[in-house]
Chains A and B, each alone.
Chain A
Amino acid sequence: LAKTTQPISMDSYEGQEVNITCSHNNIATNDYITWYQQFPSQGPRFIIQGYKTKVTNEVASLFIPADRKSSTLSLPRVSLSDTAVYYCLVGDGAGSYQLTFGKGTKLSVIP
């Protein structure tokens, strides 16, 4: 399973755009990149998933360069409610999807 590396923590002011970068140097050809958000004492919530280039949905954008060795989750105009832990995961699509959650990035949004 490919390992991922993310910053342990980040701080941001309300209203700013936040970019969290994840490195996954050993990503396999058929691996997708998926981001989850987790609030304390709650289950992780799926945010976005991508394979290459750029993916955008109503809450975030995911940028993946051509070599796919890293990815960046972009949260536009964060609010206090975006304070959470964000996990970047990669995994193979070969039938099972054994997710390996690292420590994630603890994002603190400051008023």
Chain B
Amino acid sequence: DSGVTQTPKHLITATGQRVTLRCSPRSGDLSVYWYQQSLDQGLQFLIQYYNGEERAKGNILERFSAQQFPDLHSELNLSSLELGDSALYFCASSKTGGNQPQHFGDGTRLSIL
């Protein structure tokens, strides 16, 4: 158990819809990261937050947004969903960022019908 909690575990929705994925980091971790993993693809870094502020941005689409709240949990919002957005979405956390190892949740599997 990594200590990182992601909800929901599975999400099925239709094209054009909007969904919110939630992540609770490990106790004491200030940094949260979001990744996307499509079928047979590597993990793509989306975005990082540190103590409520955006720290780094990767290959995140404009239709996607995220935030980290004062209690340090984070949400990833995906809108105008397309079939290609079907993937596993992982959240990871670390104490401060930088070289600290990241601890990953079990992911949210998003299926777009």
Interface centre among B97, B99, B101, B104 (most CB of A within 10 A): B99
Q: Could you tell me which residues of chain A, from 34 to 59, have a CB within 8 Å of some CB in chain B?
A: 34, 41-46, 49
Sorting the interface of chain A by its residue count into under 10, 10 to 19, 20 to 34 or 35 or more gives: 20 to 34
Q: Does A29 contact B (CB under 8 A)?
A: no
Closest to A48 in B: B101
CA distance A58 to B29 in the complex (A): 24
With both chains docked as a complex, state the minimum distance between the C-beta of A71 and any C-beta of chain B, in angstroms: 14
Please report which residues of chain A, range 85-111, place their CB below 8 angstroms from some CB of chain B when the two chains form the complex: 87, 91, 93-104
Residues of B within 8 A of A32 (CB): 99
- Report the Cα distance A99→B2, complex, angstroms: 18
Q: Are A93 and B56 in contact (CB under 8 A)?
A: no
Contacts of B43 in A (CB 8 A): 44, 87, 99, 101
CB-CB under 8 A from B88, the residues of chain A are 41
B100 and A42 within 8 A (CB) = no
B97 cross-chain contacts in A, Cβ below 8 A: 95-97
Chain A's closest residue to B56 (CB) is A96
A sample of 8 inter-chain contacts (CB < 8 A) reads A34-B99, A43-B4, A44-B90, A49-B101, A95-B55, A97-B48, A97-B94, A103-B42
